[in-house]
Amino acid sequence: MTQWYYADASGQRQGPFSAEELEGHVRHARLGAASLVWREGLQDWQPLSSVAAELGLPLDAPAAPAMDAVVPAADAPYTPPTADLASFQPVVAGHIVHGGLWKRFAASFIDGIVTTVVSYALMIPLMLIGVGVMGAGGSDNPFATGAGLASMLAIYPILFLAPCVYFGWMQSSSLQASLGKLAVGIKVTRTDGQRMSFWRGFLRSLAYLVFTMVTCGLGVLISGLMVAFTDRKQALHDMLCDTLVVDKWAFTAFPERQRDELGVVTIVILVLAGLMIFGSLAIYGVMGALMMKGLS
């Protein structure tokens, strides 16, 4: 996807933006025909009107920028700050649709599968290495035993680090969402709409895991109740890290595209999750009944 940048009134470069987002800026009168824009492949900054056909914008004939227009530095086009959080400018306007309990649950269901697969993909080789080292060294070799145990103990940090890195990386990216949140159409932002940093996302996930562990799993229920009944649908880890879960179109140039309803994808995921949960409970119930019958 082509990424566009524009120069604001003070000559500061803003972006990157998609063509749709630039269209939204035009519709909200933030950009005009003489506004300077740039994308990779252009030799220099151009008035928006000169690329209107490419963007599909209903602007007048090309117009040159004013003589006193402030143009960014000459080398600015060749070093777009895609990784600079300060370059991201949220559009704070209109009603914000927050991610509710059921959308967040559906997203967590998908992300739980992703993080489980990633964690086991890392843990299983370590377990095999640990068992192999201990077996090759023999039970009377303390070094082999120590190395094997160290490999197997490394499994436990992975249970925390894998999901924290996954959520920190995905939710601090330009997507601002994990795979589960992308599927249901929500994202994570700072409370002012800004994109959060990797370490804030990492600590946000770690806070949730620690809270869940300390409360012996009750943290999941408490977080769900907080999302259901707080004004901005924030869980405890959101409040601690100054974050919000919102619709994917919130804080953009297209706030009218936000949706309060669950959506087809969310409903399908909830149905599948419900079937898996009730199916698991049924299996455990049958196994428990068989065990009790065997003991009688």
Most confident of 84-98, 119-133, 248-262: 248-262
Q: Taking the CB of residue 168, how many other CB atoms lie within 10 A of it? A: 22
Catalogue the long-range contacts made by 6-9 (C-beta closer than 8 Å, 24 or more residues apart). 6/31, 6/35, 6/36, 6/37, 6/38, 6/48, 7/35, 7/36, 7/37, 7/45, 7/69, 7/70, 7/71, 7/72, 9/70
Tell me the sheet residues that pair with 187.
Answer: 246
Closest CA to 15 of 24, 6, 23: 6
Mean pLDDT in the chain? 81
For the ranges 24-33, 139-148, 249-258, the lowest mean pLDDT is seen at: 139-148
Q: Is the CB of residue 101 less than 8 Å from the CB of residue 233?
A: yes
Q: Which amino acid is at 202?
A: F
Closest CA to 195 of 223, 215, 228, 173: 173
Q: Is the CB of residue 196 less than 8 Å from the CB of residue 189?
A: yes
The helix (H) or strand (E) run that includes residue 36 is: strand 36-39
Higher pLDDT among residues 53 and 264, named by residue: 264
C-alpha distances in Å from residue 284, one per residue of 160, 218, 272, 288: 27, 21, 18, 6
Q: Which amino acid is at 199?
A: W
- What's the pLDDT score for residue 134? 65
Specify the CATH number for 4-87; select among 2.30.40.10, 3.30.1490.40, 3.50.50.60, 3.40.50.300: 3.30.1490.40
Is 0.75 topped by the overall pTM? no
The domain spans of the chain are: 4-87, 101-262
- Exposed/middle/buried for 67, CB within 10 Å: 0-12, 13-18, 19+? exposed
Residue 76 and residue 61: Cα distance in Å, rounded?
26
- What's the pLDDT score for residue 75? 45
Give residue-wise pLDDT tens across range 147-202. Answer: 667 776 777 888 889 999 999 999 999 899 999 999 999 999 999 888 999 999 99
- What's the pLDDT score for residue 208? 94
- What's the pLDDT score for residue 66? 44
C-alpha distances in Å from residue 139, one per residue of 91, 135, 152, 260: 64, 7, 16, 61
Maximum distance among all Cα pairs of the chain, rounded to whole angstroms: 94
